[in-house]
Copies of this chain bind each other. A is one copy, B any other.
């Protein structure tokens, strides 16, 4: 189960891809520097990726992520259905609030951003699709923790040590579990600058036909813009998506 197999080239390749994702038109030098790889090594890995269309070179010789990757990412979004159903509802919620709306799924001790509709405002909160955050620093994550039974929440706390992301991050196991329970009772959760200073979220859960929490829906906005009125709109949107998934 907990196996420590690492393949060097794969690790290196992934850090190159990560670096590529950050920079738009990266030079070999930049990429090699950022990944601490010898330029010849980086060159060889990039050339190999290039053959598979994972990497594209612009006319100045700069490196960029290619479309080869998209092929798998589409399949990876196992819950294609959920995204299709959620997207229009998310869009209308965005239009109502003017703020970024995110769809997330739990994966072990993290939430993964599956889909988003970004705010049109100049200053806005924006998550990269596929990026991750630990459960305890997000609104939806806390609701997901509350879904677990028994000592799961405490186990999570022990396992992860509840690393602090900001001064507001809940780092005490007991506080976290009561906050989670409270959020569950309310039917929504807040994130008060617990993941990033200045950012506030509201989250709700989405359930399938079996009542199982399969995803989370959240609004992310600069803290001072966040309005309590959005809670009911968000809950309604979440319920609507759940309903389309067959929840009672």
> Nearest-CB distance from A32 to chain B (Å)?
15
With A47-B3, A64-B78, A107-B53 as given contacts, are A130 and B14 in contact (CB-CB < 8 Å)?
A: no
CB distance from A223 to the nearest CB of B (A): 25
Residues from chain B with a CB closer than 8 A to the CB of A17 are 72
Query: What 1/0 flags go to A45-68 for Cβ under 8 Å of B?
Result: 101110111001000000011111
Q: Tell me the smallest distance from the CB of A60 to a CB of chain B, in Å.
A: 14
Interface size class of A (residues with CB under 8 A): 35 or more
Residue from B9, B53, B130 within 8 A of A72 (CB atoms): B130
For residue A7, CB closer than 8 A to chain B, the reply is: yes
- Nearest chain B CB to A202's CB is how many angstroms away? 23
Is A44 positioned at the interface, with any CB of B under 8 Å from its CB? yes
Judge if A69 is at the interface, Cβ distance under 8 Å.
Answer: yes
How far apart are A92's CB and chain B's nearest CB, in angstroms? 12
Number of chain copies forming the complex: 2
A65 to B70, CA, bound (A): 12
Q: A74 is contacted by which of B75, B105, B130 (Cβ under 8 Å)? A: B130
Cβ contact of A76, chosen from B9, B47, B65, B105, cutoff 8 A: B65
Say whether A209 faces chain B, with CB atoms less than 8 Å apart. no
Selected from B21, B45, B51, B56, the residue in CB contact (under 8 A) with A71 is B21
Set of chain B residues within 8 Å of A53, measured between Cβ atoms: 107, 132
A224 to B130, alpha carbons, bound, how many Å?
A: 40
Write out, one digit per residue, whether chain A residues 105-129 have a CB within 8 A of any chain B CB (1) or not (0).
1010000101000000000000011
Of all A-B residue pairs in the complex, the 3 with the closest CB atoms, nearest first, are A71-B130, A73-B73, A70-B130
Q: Which chain A residues have a beta carbon within 8 Å of chain B's beta carbons?
A: 3, 5-7, 9-11, 13-14, 17, 20-21, 44-45, 47-49, 51-53, 56, 64-78, 105, 107, 112, 114, 128-132
**16 residue pairs A–B, Cβ–Cβ below 8 Å:** A3-B47, A5-B44, A5-B47, A21-B71, A53-B132, A65-B72, A65-B75, A69-B73, A70-B112, A70-B114, A71-B130, A72-B73, A72-B130, A73-B130, A74-B128, A74-B129
